Amino acid sequence: MIGLLDCNNFYVSCERVFDPTIAKKSVVVLSNQDGCVIARSNEAKALGIEMGVPFFQIRALTKVEDIAVYSSNYALYGDMSSRVVETVRAIVPEVEVYSIDEQFLDFDTAHRRNAADTGQEVRTKVGQHTGIPTGLGIARTKTLAKIANRIAKKSLTHGGIYVLDHPQQIESMLALIAVSDLWGIGRRYAKKLGKYNVNTALDLYRCPESFVQQQMTVVGLRLWHELHGRPCLPLEQISKPKKNICTSRSFQQVQTDLPPLREAIATHANRCAQKLRAQGSAANYVQVFVQTNKHCPEQQYANSFTWTLPVSSNDSRLLIRYALQALERIFQPGYHYQKCGVIVSGLVPENAHQLSLFEPGTLGHTSGGQTPAEKGLQLMQVVDTLNDRYGRDKVQLGAMMSTKETASWRMQQNFLSPQYTTRFKDIPIAWCV
């Protein structure tokens, strides 16, 4: 049996753990730039606040209804997520961390009592150790576990846990679920299936296999088998290294000049390099993109440029250099830029990268010393160690740093909670920087 453990209203719950005064209040958490609502307490949902609604549309309501509003605090949520996973693993070792607030649990290899009892123990311990409430669905496949989890959360009578196993029980539950609510059915497929009068999960369950394959390819076929209790999606305990890494942000205010864009791109390129080093990868391609605000009626512009690096790299200095050259190629004066970003791709293991024939030091000069690439890697390791200990970007490159004139691109976070679990990193080490 497979379990899906899902943290209830995760970001809201994290904020509540450290501020009990909002335990009973309506709470919302906003996306970056305080743009959209991305998490809501049950009370906020009851007020009709939808997922993804722009904040400005509900700002008045938050005043009237005395709703607590938070900017997203990913340092806090990431840390709390790790604590939840740690607690779960102590009871059920075979775990797939699916997202920041969801894990799949393999109850079969846990060699425990029945899944429901073990699951209840997991929920209790997570609550005790972290203060985060959870819902748990248990079934024979991941897709059915997702459904069971929905039932566990929606229905108060099941106390946050639900086991979905008997065929008749599965069919009667599938009849109550819209096909669009299935894991793997998005807007497009829901619309397409609707044309064939396939509206509930049970309708899809009863479709012929050939129809599903024809209309939804092999992805849909897997979903269909999973609904019938035949696992097609294995538990993936070891997270695979990412194949692309992207860092992008909207600006606090639209930007028209090159200098603040250079600063933003340098900052994003550095973050990409950090993420690469964290997973032990190096990139072969660096892509930079810029875009204007598509919600505005004014003249639009969006463009990107991709460099192929001479050697694969995760050196912040090299990635910044290429990223800035890419920016120079696509920057056009006269536009109101709203967003920019850096994508690195063609990722390879950092220790297996292909040396360039022309890279200095790679031919005939390596006997006694290190190549520049090796030296660079060491330097980056030192920087990472310092920043890990003293806080993000305590040591940084000049290209990332702002002057008074260029700082207006940086993020808006008007409702940020304290770094409750990582606060010591805020202690400045100014003289070291």
Partner DNA sequence: TCTGGGGTCCTAGGACCC
Which of 23, 90, 219, 278 lies at the binding interface for DNA (CB under 7 A)? Answer: 219
From 263, 391, 272, 417, select the one nearest 337 (Cα to Cα).
263
Residue 433 CA to residue 429 CA, distance in Å, equals 7
Minimum separation from the CB atom of position 143 to DNA (A): 10
**Could you give the string, one character per residue 271-290, with x where binding to DNA holds by CB under 7 A and - elsewhere?**
----x---------------
Tell me the window of 61-69, 215-223, 315-323, 418-426 that interacts with DNA (CB under 7 A). Answer: 215-223
Q: Where are the beta strands (DSSP E) in 149-215?
A: 161-163
As measured in angstroms, the least distance from the Cβ of 9 to DNA is: 11
Does 295 bind DNA (CB under 7 A)? Our answer is yes
Q: Based on the number of CB atoms within 10 Å of its own CB, is 119 exposed (0-12), middle (13-18) or buried (19 or more)? A: buried
Nearer to DNA by Cβ, of 110 and 136: the residue is 136
Q: Is 13 in the site for DNA (CB under 7 A)?
A: no
Site for DNA in 387-406 (CB under 7 A): none
Q: For DNA, which residue of 183, 211, 307, 415 counts as binding (CB under 7 A)?
A: 183
What CA–CA distance (Å, rounded) separates 244 from 254?
A: 27
- Computed on alpha carbons and rounded to an integer, the radius of gyration of the chain in Å comes to 25
Tell me the C-alpha distance between 276 and 308, whole Å. 16
**For the chain, how are helix, strand and coil distributed in percent, rounded to 5?**
45, 20, 35
187 counts as binding DNA under rule CB under 7 A: yes
Give min distance, CB of 112 to DNA, in A. Answer: 26
Gap between the Cα atoms of 127 and 49, Å rounded:
27
Nearer to DNA, 240 or 404 (CB): 240
Query: 237 to 266, contacts with DNA by CB under 7 A?
Result: 240, 242-250
Q: How far is the CB of 354 from DNA (least distance, A)?
A: 13
Q: How far is the CB of 228 from DNA (least distance, A)?
A: 18
Can residue 195 be called a binding residue for DNA (CB under 7 A)? Answer: no
Contact region with DNA (CB under 7 A), list: 75-83, 123-131, 176-184, 323-331? 176-184
Question: Rounded to whole angstroms, how far apart are CA atoms 330 and 326?
Answer: 7
The gap from C-alpha 261 to its chain's centroid, in whole angstroms, comes to 24
Site string for DNA, 95-114 (x = CB under 7 A): ---xxxxx------------
- Name which position in 62, 313, 338, 371 contacts DNA (CB under 7 A): 338
Q: What is the DSSP letter of 392?
A: T
Residues 31-60 as x/- pattern, contact with DNA by CB under 7 A: xxx-xx-x-------------x-xxx--x-
Q: How far is the CB of 268 from DNA (least distance, A)?
A: 7
Other CB atoms within a 10 A radius of the CB of residue 78 amount to: 13
Provide, rounded to whole angstroms, the least separation between the CB of residue 318 and DNA: 19
Q: How far is the CB of 33 from DNA (least distance, A)?
A: 5
Q: Which stretch binds DNA (CB under 7 A): 30-38, 111-119, 131-139, 367-375?
A: 30-38
Task: Please report, in angstroms and rounded to a whole number, the separation of the first and last CA atoms in the chain.
Answer: 52
The side-by-side arrangement of strands in the sheet containing 37-40 is 37-40, 27-30, 68-71
Q: Is 402 exposed, middle or buried (0-12, 13-18, 19+ CB in 10 A)?
A: middle
Q: Does 293 bind DNA (CB under 7 A)?
A: yes
Q: Which of 382, 155, 404 is nearest to 259 (CA)?
A: 404
Q: Are 139 and 107 spatial neighbours (Cβ–Cβ below 8 Å)? A: no
Report d(CA 379, CA 394) in Å as an integer: 15
State the residues that interact with DNA by CB under 7 A: 31-33, 35-36, 38, 52, 54-56, 59, 98-102, 146, 182-190, 217-219, 240, 242-250, 268, 275, 293, 295-296, 338-339, 341, 343
